[in-house]
Chains A and B, each alone.
Chain A
Amino acid sequence: MEMISALIVMGALCLSGGLALAWAARKFAGNENALVVQIEELLPQTQCAQCGYPGCKPYAEAIVAGEADINQCQPGGERVVKALGQLLGADYRPPAKVAEKPMVAFIREAECIGCTLCIKACPVDCIIGAPKQMHTVITADCTGCTLCIPPCPVNCIDMEMLPPRWQPERP
C-alpha cells in the first residue's frame, strides 16, 4: 500500500514539475530571449559544459526549449536548482550530479610547448601565452572548468584543488 501511494505521489510530483515547465514555457512564449537572459543570470557562468551543453547560455536556451531539466548544472548545485525553480515555477529536485570541490588549472610550465591550443579552449580567456612561448593560467580568473585539458598535446595541465569555501554551521 505504502509502495503504491509513494508511486502515486512521485508520479504526481513529476507531472506537476513537467506541467510547471510547460506552463512556464508558454507563459514566456515570444519572450524567450528575455527568459534565456534571466536564466543565464542565475547560472554560475563557469562555462564548464558539465550540464551537457557547451556553456551556460546554451544550457539556458535548452531549458527554455524544454530540452533540459533545471537540475543539470553541476557547479551551481542546490542553489541554482532552487533559483531556477523559483523563476520557472518548477518543483525542487536534487541536483543531477554533486559538485566537486573547486579546482583551478595549473600548467607545468617547463613542459609546455607553446602550441596555444589551451588558450583557444578556455572560455574565460584566462590563459596567457603566445605561439612557442610558455603558457600560464591566471589563477584568480580560472573557473576550474577543465576545458583546457583535452586539447593539450603534451598533457602538461594539472587541476589543483582550492581550499574549500568555509560554510557556517546551522545553529
Chain B
Amino acid sequence: MMFGLAKKFDGGLKLPPNKHGAEAPSRILPIPESLTYYLTKNIKETHQCIVNIGETVLFGQSIARGLGHQPDIHAAYGGVIEAIGSKAGPYDAPEEQAVIIRTSEYKNVYKHDDKIKNKSDLLKSMGVAGMGGAAFPTGEKVQAAGAPRVWLINGVECEPMLSCDQCLMREQADKLVQAIRYLAAEIMPGRVILALESDKADAVSAMRLALGDVTDIELACLPPRYPQGGEKQLIQTLLGLEVPSGTHAAHLGILVLNVATVMAAFDALAYHLPLTHRLVTVAGQGVSAPGNVWVPIGAALKDVLDFCGYDGAATLRVTVGGPMMGRAVNSLDVAVTKGTSAILALTAADELAVYSAQPCIRCGVCTEVCPARLQPEDMYFNIRAGRLNRTRETGLMDCIACGACAYVCPSEIPLVASFLYAQQICRIEDEQKARAAYIGDLVKARDARLAARRSVRMGKSASREAAARTVDPAAMEKVDAAREKARSKIDK
C-alpha cells in the first residue's frame, strides 16, 4: 500500500547524493587477523569483560556483558583472547579499553541456550543495537515503546555517500519483509510503515516486489531531503507529529528502527543469533573499489579500507559515518562498531565543506535549514562566550548534529563541532550533579541512622564521630602519605 505524505519537516537541505558504488553487489571481507571490541566509551566503562587473556572463544560467544541496558558483545570469529587493554578508539577520547581476539578457530559455533524468553532481554543478550549510527540499545527501545501505535522502519539513509541500507533492502528484500512480519507479531504495533527515499530506485523496486500485495506494511517513498532520516524529522514528515523537546518517540507511542537493526533483531529473536557482522559502506575517492562490504564487528578500519583498494597518499581524512555527521579518526587501528555505517576515505575532491571560519555575517541561513528549529548562530555565540546555560535554554540539547547549518554557512563556521563540544560539557555537568545528589542521599541516610542510634545511646557515638571528622595535622600526614602512594602508583 502506498502512503500519502503528512508534511515535510522544518528546515533541511537537498544535498548531492554521491552514492558511488551503491549499485555494486555487496562483498564479504576476508577474515581479519584480529578483532577489537571496546569496553569503554570516552573512557567511561560500558561493558564488563567476561573472558581472560589466553582463553579460546568460539564464533558468536559472548565476551563482554553490557552494563545497564548496553547490549552484550560477541566474538565475530573464533580465536584466542590476545590482550585486554588500551586501543585507539572511534569516539572522542583518543584511547579506549578493549578486548582483542586473534582469530584462529573457525569451525565451531557457540550455542546460546534459549532460556531467555523476554524479548528485550533477549535482544540485549544477543547484542542488538541501533545500526543507523547511534547504536542505541534496541532492547531498551522496544521495551520503552511497549505496543506502539506506529512502528516506523527507517530505510531513509539521507546522508550523502551512504548506501548500506539501500544495498541491504535491494539484496535481502524478502528476508526484510519476513523479519518485519515476525517482529510485528512480537511487538503488536497499530501500523507498520517502511520509509525510504525515492531516489534509491533499486531498493524501492526490490521492496515493492517483495511486498507484493501485502497490505499491512505501508511503503512510504519520500522525496530526498536531508536530514529526513533523523527520528524526529521522519516522524514529522510521515505523521505530521512533533516529538517535544527532551522526549523520545516512545512518548508518542512510536517505535523507529533502522532496517539493518530490524534484520539483526529478527536473527536474535527467531534464531538466537548474536549481532556479529554488519554491512558497511566504503566510499570516497581514496578507495579504488567503493561499495558495500559485510564486515565482522571488531575489524580494523585498515583491513576494510585495504580490501577496497585504499590509497593513503590521496586521502585527506578517514571518517567513520557519513560526510555530514561522521567523525574523522586519527588512527586506522580503530575498529568497526555496531554503529559504523560507513568508512569514508575522503580526498580534497570529496569534501562537502571546508572549514576556514570567518566572522558570522548574521545572514540567518543556518536558522532556515535547521530541522530542529534552533538558531545556530545564537547558540554558537553563546558557546563562544561561555554562556552554556543560556545555550541550553535555547535548545542546545535538541541539536541532532546533522551538520546542515555548517554546510550552508557562507562564513564556513564549524558550528556543529562547537555544538557537540557544548553538549558533551553539559552531559558531564549533569552526571556530576546526579552523582552529588546520590552522595547527598547517602549522607542523609547515614545521618538518619546515627540519629536513630543516638536516641537510643544518648550522645556517646555522636562525640566520637565528631572527633573522627575534625582535621588535625598529625592525621593529615597519614592522608598525604596515602595520596603520595596512590600518585606514585600511577606514575609507574
Contact = CB atoms under 8 A, between A and B. Distances in A.
B348 interface: no
B131 to A, nearest CB: 25
Interface residues of B, number: 46
B486 interface: yes
A120 B443 contact: no
Contacts of B490: 101, 161
A25 interface: no
B186 to A, nearest CB: 35
B92 A168 contact: yes
Contact of A158 (B461, B465, B485): B485
Interface string B414-430: 10011011001100110
22 contacts: A41-B440, A45-B443, A46-B439, A47-B443, A49-B471, A55-B469, A56-B443, A100-B483, A101-B490, A103-B483, A120-B461, A120-B464, A120-B468, A121-B465, A121-B468, A125-B449, A141-B439, A141-B442, A155-B478, A168-B92, A168-B425, A170-B421
Contacts of B436: 43-45
A124 B443 contact: yes
A97 to B, nearest CB: 13
B10 to A, nearest CB: 26
B47 to A, nearest CB: 15
Most chain B beta carbons < 10 A, residue from A100, A103, A149, A164? A149
A169 interface: yes
Nearest to B95: A166
Contacts of A89: none
Given A117-B468, A120-B464, 17 more contacts: A41-B440, A54-B469, A55-B469, A125-B445, A147-B469, A149-B478, A161-B489, A163-B43, A164-B43, A165-B44, A165-B428, A166-B42, A166-B92, A168-B421, A169-B421, A171-B417, A171-B420
Interface in A14-61: 40-41, 43-47, 49, 52, 54-56
Contacts of B470: 54
Main secondary structure of the interface of A (DSSP, over half): loop
B479 interface: yes
Contacts of A49: 469, 471
A149 B464 contact: no
A72 interface: no
A159 B449 CA distance: 26
Interface string B392-420: 00000000000000000000001001101
Contacts of A171: 414, 417-418, 420-421
B482 A158 contact: yes
A117 to B, nearest CB: 7
Interface of A: 40-41, 43-47, 49, 52, 54-56, 79, 100-101, 103, 117, 120-121, 123-126, 141, 143, 146-147, 149-151, 155, 157-161, 163-171
* Interface-centre pick from A146, A167, A171 (highest chain B CB count, 10 A): A171
B442 A124 contact: yes
Given A54-B469, A143-B439, A166-B92, A123 B483 contact: no
A146 B92 contact: no
B48 to A, nearest CB: 13
A49 B436 CA distance: 15
Interface string B29-54: 00000000000001110000000000
A164 B461 CA distance: 37
A125 to B, nearest CB: 5
A160 B489 CA distance: 8
Nearest to B415: A171
Contacts of B486: 103, 158-161
Contact of B439 (A124, A160, A161, A169): A124
Contact of B446 (A52, A123, A149): A123
B432 interface: yes
B482 A146 contact: yes
